[in-house]
Structures are given as structure tokens and as C-alpha cells.
Structure 1
Amino acid sequence: MAANAPALTFIALFLPFLGAAFAPFLVRRFGAGAAWLLALAPALVFLHLCGFLPEIAAGEVVTGGYAWAPSFNLSFSWFLDGLSLSFALLITGMGALIVVYSGSYMKGHPDQGRFLAFILLFMGAMLGLVVSDSFLMLFVYWELTSITSFLLIGFDHGREAARRAALQALVVTGGGGLCLLAGLVFLWNVSGVTQLSLLVHLEGGLRESPFYLATLLLVLGGAFTKSAQFPFHFWLPNAMEAPSPVSAYLHSATMVKAGVYLLMRLNPVLGATPAWEILLPFFGGITLIAGTMLGLRQTDMKLILAYTTMASLGLLVMLTGFGSPHAVEAAVLYLVAHCLFKGALFMAVGAVDHEAVVRDVTQLGGLRSVMPITFGAALLSALSMGGLPLFFGFLAKEEIYAALAAGNPRAVFFTGLAVIGNALMFALAFAVALKPFLGARTEATRDVHEGPVVLLLGPVYLAVLGLLGGIFPGIAHRYISSPMASAIADEKVVIDITTVPHPGIPLLLSVVTVALGALVYWRLDAARAAMARVLENLGPGPDRGFDHFVSGLVRVSVAVTRFVQPGRLEIYVTATFILLALTLLVPPVVFGELPGLPDLPADILVQEAAFLLIAAVGVFAVLRAKDRLTAIVSLGIQGFAVAVIFLLFGAPDLSFTQFMVETLSVVILALVMTRLRLSSADHRPPGQLLFDAAVAAACGIGFTLLLLKSVEAPFDAVLTDFFNAYSKVVAHGANVVNVIIVDFRGTDTLGEIAVVMITGLAVLALIRVRAGGKASQEEEGR
């Protein structure tokens, strides 16, 4: 790696964020043409990352970064191997196409600059996520993808559906992010490392840990929510409320694959266990079938593609956890193929929607003659999605069946799921690629024409790339597929599959898939009606359940808030002191740490005894006071007595501080009492007085026990010697106490001063509010 590579990589990782900062300005200055300038950011990052391809293909890894908090082993660091580099190239390469596509799609929109800024922000977050080495860096970027996707999904915030979809995506993926955070903490504590580059090469220990299952479930919680696995799948179709460039980028090629990326990344340390090989195929298989079945019901082209994306994510998760020799290779090939054909299809649908302003396949027809380029791109993408020969999707499908097909019941079951799922995706792909373009023109397509060249560049490029990748797979295998599979398997893997059909079980299953898919496509209307009846009989699904969950959560929150925050200060104070008493008393009793009774000093001086007696008299005076003002003044007696005791024991600084605090406390409390409209005497009933006295006594006893336990320990003079030795030398102060407060504990002192200041402001505000209320009442009386 070149000497300047770390610095260049650091700059490259922040280029999308820099582009986002300038996007609004450039759009105001150059209009839709600004998209070409902004696309330079991901394009330059893409070119920089391509420079690592030979090194990664040779089996090397590229790491770099900068120490952030070395004492906590925290760093801003990146880790490039076959897996992270392939994802980074997909993110930046497709990102450049999406930015250019967005410039044309959003042309004339008043908020185009904001939209492009959001896209670039998301791009930077996703890029950071896949190259992150540090656990902390991974989590920060993970959450940033959720936040930026919330902004993109809710871009058209004037519509309630867009706001709901954005909130739903944020709640689901944000909750999963919290699970991931807990999982990363478990990984850190079990493995002792905070970097993925060290974790994936860790020798044993993690799978045998008693915390393995908890760690796995927490990681799966993060991955499943982000990658829309059942039962967290419902947010993905609703996210289609976002503009088409968002759907093409976030929900087909990047964000929704973040969970898949995480599972692939952690496969070397969490995989190859019964739990891994049961949970991932099970939930992945359910998601595959549920996605295709729900997709059959749809007529909106974006929703059809959304549900097939959900199904594809399920297939990827199923393959990642299946555990057979070729499962990882199949997952790699399908992931790359899916990015190409699904990105192209989403952009083609966006072009149709942009020109016809309709996405319903039942209202479209005859577009082939007026949108031939869009039709060609959609057809090529559908052929790849259907897994037909000469396309990269065919390679993926053959490898899927080679990985799944076997004679045991488990393999037969999941092979059947894959055949059914792929067949339904075949039918849905051609429903999008053929239905709107064939047949006679409809009312909705009467005045439609081909979109601008910029709108066609992305889908055509991706569709042709899927074809070329299938015809010439050697380059893709050498630089993308094989290094990626090697990183996931943590061993050298060579993928050499070609488009030349090889007789065998995989080819036979491919033929069955195509035949079944063609049959469903032929009877698509009947299949859609049948699925509609099934869903109707099943009743409300998870999407409606989310609404019930949120409304129930709000009701519970309101009830809890009303219970714990009733608006009465005495309840807050009582609860605080009860908790304090429990904290002080319960641990010593439970753990047997009660202090012994101290020995009374035999040589107590008369003046010391006198002031202790005065403090006791002060307490008695407070208890016997007839009005509040007398009680406040009597309370100061104890403080002054304690201050004198400090003085007698040779601590004049502490004594002076105590005198000042007690004086100010009495003055402020007296001022408050004279300004607030409170009864002069305490009218609490005997039961309340007894309860409050018990709480106060418990707190007093607790602090007494804590102090006695503290002084039982042998005196350690290390700090004393340190401050005596360095107060003059380091802080240039002869008064050790002052130096400790101002220099060594300067931040703590600043915090204490801030607390006193805030308390004073709160008291002042309370007095002014009360005074203002009283003046208003007097005015009303007049």
C-alpha cells in the first residue's frame, strides 16, 4: 500500500459528506446540472477503491485509521478485504449513477438540493459502515444510515403516508440498532477486542462462550431489522413512499443489505454452529416465501419490486446460514447479481413513473414503442432476475441450487423453498418488465415518451453490466466474487462458474424454476386474486400490528408518566429519599458489610462536646418549631456547629466554606418562604409525619453507616503525599486545599458551581412565577 494511501482513504471516506454539504449551493447555482458535479464525489471514491483490487484479489487486507481514545482502545479505523471492498465498490459505483439519475428525476423540484444532500449523506454513512474496523465506528455509521434513510423516506413530508413510512423505518431499524449495540458490547467483553480485523481472525473461544447465544440473538436483532427479515419486514414495502432514486439505491443495493453484510462479516466467528444454521435458514426461508407471496398481490410496480427485494434478502440470509460447501459462493454471486438487476429495474420503473405518472401494471400497456430503451433495460434486468443463461443472475441461481441440493430432508426442504421463491420472482420480474410495455396503449400511456438520456444511463448501464458479467465472468470472479467469498469463509475460495450449462441437478432445478415461473406469469391475474383472498382471510398483518404497538406504547407511556410525574414536588422528594435510603442500607445488609461500632474517644475536649450538643439542640429545635421560618433558622444551628467543629480540628478553609454555605442556605430559604404563598405551619397528619420521619431516619442511618465503614479502612496517604509534593511545583500554590479545588479538581468544581447556579436560577424563576401570579390575581381583583 502506498505511503499516502491512509490519508487518501481517510479523505475518500468523507468525500460524500463534503458533497452533501455543498449540494444545496451547487443546485441553486447550476440547477439539475449540479448532479454531474456531485456525482464526482462517489466516482472519485470508486476509482480510489479500485486501486486496492489487485492487492485484495491476491489475498491481502488493507487496514488503516487514526487513534481516537487510545486509553479506551477506540479508533477511527477501516478494514478492507474482499467483502468490505466489494460492498464499498457497489455503494460508490451505483451511488454515482443514482446521483446523476436523481438530477434528471428530480429536475425542477424546489428541494432538489436537499434531496441530493440526503442521498450523499446516506452514501457516506453506508460507505463508512462497510469499511469500519472499530466496533464504535461500525455502530455510529449503522445508526447514521437509519437516520439518513428516515430523511429520504420522509422526503415528501407533506404526505402522511411518507411521514408514517419514515417513522416506521426509523423505529424498527433504530430498535435493531440498540440490539446491535448490546451485541457488540458482548463481542467486546467475550473476545477482548474492539476491531473487526482482529475479531474475524480470533482463534476459537467465542462459540464456546456461555454468552454466545445471547450475542448471536442480539446481532441477529440488528441484522434482521435492517435487512427486513420476517417478522420485521413490513417497513421495507412502506418505504416505497420515497422517490424512485431512493428505492433504487437504499432498498435494493445498499441499506437493506447492511444486515446481510453484518452476518457475512461475522460468519467466521459466529457461524458454523447449530443455532446459526437453524435460525438463519429458518427466518430467511420464511422471508423468501412471504416476500414472493405478498408480491403476487401487488399491482404497483415499486411494491412488486419491494416485496421481491424482501424475498431476495431472505434468500441471502438463508444461504449465509445454510452451512453447505457452496452456500457462501451462492450468496456472494446472488448479492452482486441482485444489486445489478434490481437497481436497473427500480430505475426503469422510476423512468416509467416519471413519464406516465402511473405505476400500476393494470393501467399501463404499449410502452414498448414509445419507451424502447427503458423496455430494453427492464427486459435485460428481468432476464437476469429470472436466472436465464448468459446473465449473471443465471450464475447465481445455478450456484444456489448447487449449494442447497442434497439428499437429506433439511436440504430437500430448503431447496423446495428456493425453487418456489425463485419461480415466483421470475414471474414478478416479467410482470414489471413486460406487462407495462406489451399490449395496446392505454389512457395512462397515451402521451408518454422516452425519458431523457440521463434518466436512462443508470438502468441501461446496470442491465448491460449484468449481461457482460454473465458472458465474461472471469474478471468478476477474480476481483469481486472470489475475494468476497474468501473473506466470508475465512479461507481461500475460488469461484469459477460460467454460463455454460452443466447437466446435473442444479440445471434441472433451473428448468423447473423457469417452467413454474412462466406458468405463474401466464396465470398472474388468477394468482393475484387467489393471494388477495388468502391475505384477506389471514387478517391484519405486522404492518397494522405496528400501528397498534405504537398507539399502545403511547398510552402506556402517558399512564406511566402520569403515575411517576403527578406534578407534586413532595412525591418527587419522597421518592428520591426512599431510593437514597435503599441504596445506602440494602447493600451493606445483603452483602454483610455493616461496620462495627466505633470506640468513643476518651479525651474528648469540652468545646468539642459543647458544639456537638449545640448541633443536637439544633435538630431538636427544628423538630419542635411551630412555623416554617423558625425551622429554617433552627436548621442553620447544626451547620454552624459543624463549621466550628471543622475549625477546632484544624480545617479553617473547610470551616469557612461551611459558614458561607449555611448562611446562604438560611437566607435563600427564608427569602423563598417569605415570597411563596405557603402556610406558615406544618399541617401534615400524624401518619404522614411518622412516615417522613422514618424516611429521614433511614437516610441518616445510611449515611452514618457509610461514613463508619469508610473510616474503618486503613488510611492511605498516597493522595495526601501527592498533593503535598506537587501543589507547589505543578500548580504554584501553597494552599493545598485551594489548589486541589481549583486545579486538580477544577472540572469537578466547575460542575459544582454550575449546579449551584442552576439551583439559584430555578429558585429565582419560581419566585418570579409566583410573584407574577400573585400580581395577576390582584389585578383581576381590582
Structure 2
Amino acid sequence: MADQDRPAPPPRHWRFIPAAIAAVATLWFAQFIGPVAAGLNPEWVLRWAPSLGISFAFRLDGLALAMALLICGIGAMIFLYAATYFEKDRRLLSLLVTLGFFAISMLGLVTADDSITLFLFWEGTTITSWLLVGFDHERAESRAAALQALLITGAGGLALLAGLLMMNGVSGTTRLSEMNAAGDIFRDSALYVPIVLLVVFGCFTKSAQAPFHFWLPGAMAAPTPVSAYLHSATMVKAGVYLLARFTPALGGTELWTGLLVPVGAVTMILGAVWAARQTDMKLMLAQTTLMGLAALVMLIGLGTEEAVVAAMTFLLVHAFYKAALFLTVGMIERGAGSRDYRKLGGLARAMPITAAAAAVSGLSMAGFPPLFGFVGKELIYEAGTLAGAAVTLASLVANLFMVICAGMVAIRPFHGGPRQSPKDQPADPGWGLWLGPVLLSALSLLFGFAPAVIGDWLVAPMVVSVTGEEMQGHLALWHGITPAFVLSLVTFALGIVGFLGLDRLRDGLAGAEPGLPRIENWYDGALKGILTFSRSLTNASQSGQMTHYLRATFLASAVLVWGGLLAGTMEWPGITPRLGLIDVMVVAIIIASVAVVLVTNSRLTAICALGGVGTGIAIVFVLYGAIDVAMTQLFVEILVVVFMAIAMVRLPSWGEIPFRPGNALVAALLGSGVAVGTLAILATPLDPYLTEFFEASSVPKALGHNIVNVILVDFRGFDTLGETSVVVIAGIAAIAALRAGRRANR
């Protein structure tokens, strides 16, 4: 798109309105922290489809409130960052609007207490994230990444919908709070296994768990503010959120644990190890996001009190440091001109604010005290030691690579000898870019020193939402010399050694990568297979011949009609034919007209004969008192004859038309099926419900004494409007086609 065709950027003062709205929304949600911590869960319900028991129902419990605060609070910083980052970009307004709709979708998702409402907002995040990932749509890389994210998360959304509908059927309600209160009903149901498989499939695709994990690093084609928002507190945590939300209803079984724990452990190790392979710090952070999400999935799968406390704490920990680090990498790119840590060094003096934010958030990601990340890591180790050696080992491997990656983003670019960066004079960017990372880093430091504050006011209500029981004890920075603390020391030691040998480790992983199987091969193969099948089906079905399309349509209709007749309970009616002279004449007209169509070689004669068939049917309507239908039939026949006559006389002569047995067979099948079906309907007792309803309702509800007119205008108003629109559009199209043909002949 040329620059002159792009919309002009919004005025300067308008850029900060979305950030202000998100900040106000954060304060509004913050007022519920006290009531929710005290056990109150405010609800808001708007009746939507009462006959189906569906409502726009929203509910704030501990889990929903924490997610809402993250979405709005981090969202305010993202909006401010984006308004500054794209200050001179003409696409800024489009980005802010799309980010706004994404934030609304996420808020609706986490606060929804109705399964259908939840699914609508779930799909809203899918569509808006697709737009955000493909924001630079002129680049093939962005389009491919957006398509990949859309297909994988969209397929998961369909599976989730099926699972939610099954849950609705088993529980008899669409309210999530009522479903969670009836967990034993699900676990005892014969549909429990398919429900769990469908719901977990949907959550795994959304939160990028193996084997669907590859779409998330690919989403790094999105701009930095988008990556920070999607990968910290919002979209990728939607699947984790839903697993936590449905734990009371579906958790606590071997199937649940057997799905979540192994998949989480494997994805956690994959993400952490391959993060060390990257040199692009943004891509490295995307890989560590896989580790964070997988750790949450694994902990939720364990389901113990210690694991749930660790999961809820780490959910907050991850949101703080990951959003800050993504934004910090954007600051490095803006200030120094690169995201490749190999090209950067010695930036601390030139970019002190960026260096400070990266150091604090990086230490929190590595789990060093006294940061909030240390509290979260200790809780993960505590839950792992209680779960067994395999979980502990997976956590240890993942965490030591997190230490290595923290050094990549927090130490390598800022310390050591200066390198020739792409920008000759690197410097900290403006306040609009550094304010968000600084605030998030400050939160990681604050809650590290005072974890009991966030533990009592946010984590404890979150635990109640997942387990239904009060959290025992309080979060603390120091628990003494425990197995978890020893594991932390081991993690620090191995991580520091790994960081010192980072270049050799990275090169070793890069050398091993070509010989390893690509897990995403299944996606490439599936996409290629779908495209190949689609092309084959298109080539087979789209021949370009109208007769081919009509034959296929009529044959499909015949199969459906006869299938319904043979599979149903058809009764042949006891009809005694009593034909009068007028009946015989009408049948004779129709048969004669059909015979003429079959044997004539004249287009005009065939068209007129078809009009004879329609006229005979109109006479039948008159005989049975349907005068209005007969008039409509006659008008249609007149129009058809006129238009077809005008159109076909302009075509070349068609010569002899050979008899086609296949076409005759299709016509016989469909015609006989319609006839037998009509007779079967006549054998069915008439239900007078609609007749009685219209008779009783026409005058008091529609104020009309002509029942037919009332039905057409009031009770079937939209249907009648649609039919009229179709006729008008068809007429306009026919006139346009005829006028175009006339101009072509001149």
C-alpha cells in the first residue's frame, strides 16, 4: 500500500487514550481485591437465550480478578509503549484498535461464567491475535506465522466447543461455577474421557504445548508490543487459565494428571533448551515462554495444594518479568539497533535505565533472591520434590537453562567489552518506552521483599478458585535450608557454568539441530495434504459446465430424499384417486409440456414448454384455494420464460441433443423421491399447533385479520424480506447480464 493511501496517524494526544482507559480499568478491578479476598464473588448476568439457559454471565473470583488485573495493568503499559514505539507509524491507530479488541476479548474470557459466552470471547482472542501476529502483513513471514497460529488455535477452539457442549449436556447448565460445583457428575459420566480430551486439546493449542508449541515462537513476527502482551499475561495464558478454571470439574483423575504432567514436563524442557540455541533475544524469550506455560500446565496437572500454590504464584511471577523483558528487548533494539546479543556489549553506561530494568527482570526470571521469581521457583521445587524425581529433574533442567537465558538478555548486551553495534551512539529511549519495564521490574522487586502481601490478597483467592480450599500458610522469601533451597543453589551453580560456556553450548545445539527431527513436520505435512486434497476436489468438482453442477446437485438431493425415506418410518397413505375432468386436463398439460422439452431442438419451444409445466402447477394451486401462491407461480413463470428467451436466443444453435441415460436416471430418482416423500407426508397426521397459534395470535399480537398477510409481514417478516431481496437481486443481475451481452454484440 502506498504511503498516500494509508490513514494518517492519530493526533498526538489521542495516542495515550487506550493506555489511560486500561489504567482506569485496572483501578476499577482493584477495588474488588478486598471483597474477593474476603470470599465475595460479584456477578453480572444478562439474559441472552433464556429458553436454552444461556446468559451473558460474568463472575469475579480470585482467579478471574488476578487475570483481569494483569490484562488491564500490563495492557496499560503495552498501550503506552505501542503509542510511543509506533509514534510516527501510520498504522498506529489500527494497532491500538486491534490491541483494544484483543484486551476486551481476554477480559471477557477470564471473567465469563457461561460456557457459550466464554467460547465467544475465546474465539475473539483467536481472531484478534491472528490480526496482531500478521500486523506486518506485507511480509510473507508474518502472513505465514499468522496463518499457522490461526489454524492451530482455531482447531483447538472447535475441539473446546465440542467439549463445552458435552459438559453442558452432562451437567444441565452452561454456568461454569455450577459445573465446577458438580465435578463428581463429570468424573462419573461415560463422557468424561472425550470431554477431557477435547478440553485439554483446546487448551494445549492455545497455550502452545507439545506438539503444538512451534506456533508460539513463530508468532515473534509480530511487533514487540504485541509479543509482550500475547506472551506475558494474555493469550498464551488463556489455555492455562481454562485448565485451572476446570480443575474442580475435570481434575483429580489419572487421565487428567497423565495428560498434563508429561506434556508439561516435555514442553518445559524443549522450550528451555532451545531458548539457549537462539541469538535473537526476542526469539529466546518466546522459547522461555514455552517453559513458563509448560511449568504451569505441569503444576495444574499435579493438582496438589503445593502445586496449585506454586502455579498461581508463578503465573504472576511470569507475567511481571516476561512482559518487562520483552519490552526491554524492544528498548535495546530501538536504542542500539539490534536484538542479536552477539552484536551488543557494554551498553550499560549508554543505556542505564534499560540495563537496570533488564537486570532486575532477568534476575527474577533466573530465580535469584530477593526477587519475586525466587519465591516462585522455590514453590515449584517444593511441589516437584513432593511429586517425585521425574518432576523434580524436569524442573531442575528447565530452571538452569532459565538462568542461562537470563544472562543472555540481562548481562551480555550491557557488560563486557563494547561492540560495534548497528547504532553508533546507543541511548535509552524516551519515557514512554522505559516506564512500563521499570514499573514491572519494580513489582518483581517489591513482591520479592514482601511476598505475603500479594500472597494474601491475590494468590490465596486464586488457590481457592482452583481447589475450593483455603491456602495454608503465607508466601515468604526465606523458608530456611530446605530441599527446595538446595535445588536452587544447584540451579544457580549449573546455570552460571552454562552461561560462562554459552557460546559453546549455543554452537553445540546449533550443530545438533539439523540432525534432530522437526516436531512441526506434522503441521507442514497436514497443511500440504489439505491443500493437495482441496486442489484435487476442486479439479474434480469444478469442471466449468453448468450441466455438471446441476447433475451433481440433483443427484445429491435424490440421495438425501431417498436416504431419509428409507431410514425413516415411512407409511404409504391410503389414497383413493378421484380424478375429475379438470384434474386429467392439468396432468395432461404437464405431461405434454415435459414431453415437448425432451424431444424439441428449439430453445424457444423448450422454454415455452417449461412455462406450460409451471402454468399447470399454478392451476393446481388455484384448485386448492391458494390464489396468492398461484399468482406468484405465474409471475415467476412469466419472468423465467422472458429472461431465458432473451438470453438463449443470443446463443449459437445447439444442434442435436443426444439422449443421456445418466441424466435421465438422476431425474427419475429425484422425481420419484419427491413424489414418494410427498405421499409419505400426506400419511402423517397433521399437527394443528401452528394453525391454532396463528389463528389465536393474528389479531391480538399483529392486529391483522388476514392471517396469510400477518404471517408474511409479521411472523415471517425477515424471511419474506429475504425472499424479496433475492428476487430483486436476481432481477438486477439478469438485467445487468442482458445489457452486458447487448453491448458485447454491438
Residue 182 (structure 2) pairs with residue 202 (structure 1): yes
- Counterpart in the other structure of 2:442: 464
**CA–CA separation in structure 1 for the residues paired with 2:287 and 2:196:** 26
Residue 299 (structure 2) pairs with residue 316 (structure 1): no
1:694-751 CA distance string (max 9 Å, x none): 2111112111111111111233444444444554565555544444334443333333
AA at the equivalent of 1:270: L
- Counterpart in the other structure of 1:10: none
**CA–CA separation in structure 2 for the residues paired with 1:112 and 1:719:** 55
Residue 422 (structure 2) pairs with residue 447 (structure 1): no
- Of residues 143-152 and 620-629 in structure 1, the stretch that sits farther from structure 2 once superposed is 620-629
Q: Secondary structure at the match of 2:59?
A: strand
Alpha carbons of 1:721 and 1:494: their partners in 2 closer, same or farther (altered >3 Å)?
A: same
Equivalent position to 2:456, from 478, 481, 484: 478
AA at the equivalent of 2:165: V
Displacement of 1:774 after TM fit?
Answer: 4.0
* C-alpha contact 1:628 1:682 (8 A) present in aligned 2: no
- Counterpart in the other structure of 2:391: 414
* C-alpha contact 1:180 1:219 (8 A) present in aligned 2: yes
**CA–CA separation in structure 2 for the residues paired with 1:171 and 1:743:** 42
Equivalent position to 1:305, from 285, 290, 304: 285
Residue 564 (structure 2) pairs with residue 590 (structure 1): no
AA at the equivalent of 1:631: A
Displacement of 1:164 after TM fit?
Answer: 3.0
- Counterpart in the other structure of 1:691: 662
Alpha carbons of 1:598 and 1:422: their partners in 2 closer, same or farther (altered >3 Å)?
A: same
Alpha carbons of 1:559 and 1:327: their partners in 2 closer, same or farther (altered >3 Å)?
A: same
Q: Secondary structure at the match of 2:184?
A: coil
Residue 483 (structure 2) pairs with residue 508 (structure 1): no
Displacement of 1:511 after TM fit?
Answer: 1.9
Displacement of 1:626 after TM fit?
Answer: 4.5
Alpha carbons of 1:443 and 1:711: their partners in 2 closer, same or farther (altered >3 Å)?
A: same
Displacement of 1:393 after TM fit?
Answer: 1.3
Residue 124 (structure 2) pairs with residue 124 (structure 1): no
**CA–CA separation in structure 2 for the residues paired with 1:243 and 1:640:** 66
Equivalent position to 1:325, from 305, 312, 322: 305
Equivalent position to 1:99, from 69, 76, 79: 79
Alpha carbons of 1:726 and 1:98: their partners in 2 closer, same or farther (altered >3 Å)?
A: closer
Tell me the percent identity.
Answer: 41
AA at the equivalent of 1:449: A
* C-alpha contact 2:619 2:630 (8 A) present in aligned 1: yes
* C-alpha contact 1:329 1:495 (8 A) present in aligned 2: no
| Structure 2: 5+ residue stretches without partners | 1-6
**CA–CA separation in structure 2 for the residues paired with 1:447 and 1:69:** 62
* C-alpha contact 1:173 1:225 (8 A) present in aligned 2: yes
Q: Secondary structure at the match of 1:60?
A: coil
- Of residues 415-424 and 321-330 in structure 1, the stretch that sits farther from structure 2 once superposed is 321-330
- Counterpart in the other structure of 1:379: 359
AA at the equivalent of 1:469: F
AA at the equivalent of 2:657: H
Equivalent position to 1:189, from 169, 172, 175: 169
Equivalent position to 2:498, from 520, 525, 539: 520
* C-alpha contact 1:352 1:358 (8 A) present in aligned 2: yes
Displacement of 1:770 after TM fit?
Answer: 4.2
Equivalent position to 1:758, from 704, 715, 729: 729
- Of residues 130-139 and 626-635 in structure 1, the stretch that sits farther from structure 2 once superposed is 626-635
Displacement of 1:55 after TM fit?
Answer: 0.9
* C-alpha contact 1:297 1:531 (8 A) present in aligned 2: yes
Q: TM-score, normalised by structure 1?
A: 0.89
**CA–CA separation in structure 2 for the residues paired with 1:422 and 1:437:** 23
Equivalent position to 2:602, from 622, 627, 630: 627
Q: Secondary structure at the match of 2:74?
A: helix
Matches within 5 A, 1:482-497: 482-497=460-475
- Counterpart in the other structure of 2:113: 133
* C-alpha contact 2:206 2:235 (8 A) present in aligned 1: yes
Equivalent position to 1:560, from 534, 537, 540: 537
- Counterpart in the other structure of 1:3: none
* C-alpha contact 1:598 1:708 (8 A) present in aligned 2: no
AA at the equivalent of 1:358: S
Residue 128 (structure 2) pairs with residue 148 (structure 1): yes
* C-alpha contact 1:672 1:763 (8 A) present in aligned 2: no
Displacement of 1:535 after TM fit?
Answer: 0.8
| Structure 1: 5+ residue stretches without partners | 1-23, 776-782
Displacement of 1:551 after TM fit?
Answer: 4.7
AA at the equivalent of 2:486: L
Runs (4+) off by over 6 Å:
none
* C-alpha contact 2:211 2:519 (8 A) present in aligned 1: no
AA at the equivalent of 1:66: L
Residue 686 (structure 2) pairs with residue 715 (structure 1): yes
AA at the equivalent of 1:750: L
**CA–CA separation in structure 1 for the residues paired with 2:65 and 2:45:** 16
AA at the equivalent of 1:482: A
* C-alpha contact 2:57 2:112 (8 A) present in aligned 1: yes
1:163-222 CA distance string (max 9 Å, x none): 333333233323322322232222222322222232222252222323222222222232
**CA–CA separation in structure 1 for the residues paired with 2:232 and 2:330:** 13
Displacement of 1:374 after TM fit?
Answer: 2.2
- Counterpart in the other structure of 1:5: none
Q: Secondary structure at the match of 2:44?
A: strand
Matches within 5 A, 1:16-31: 28-29=10-11, 31=12
AA at the equivalent of 2:571: P
**CA–CA separation in structure 2 for the residues paired with 1:461 and 1:180:** 36
- Counterpart in the other structure of 1:580: 557
* C-alpha contact 1:324 1:404 (8 A) present in aligned 2: no
- Counterpart in the other structure of 1:229: 209
Matches within 5 A, 1:161-310: 161-310=141-290
Q: What is the total number of aligned residue pairs between the two structures?
A: 739
**CA–CA separation in structure 1 for the residues paired with 2:624 and 2:268:** 78
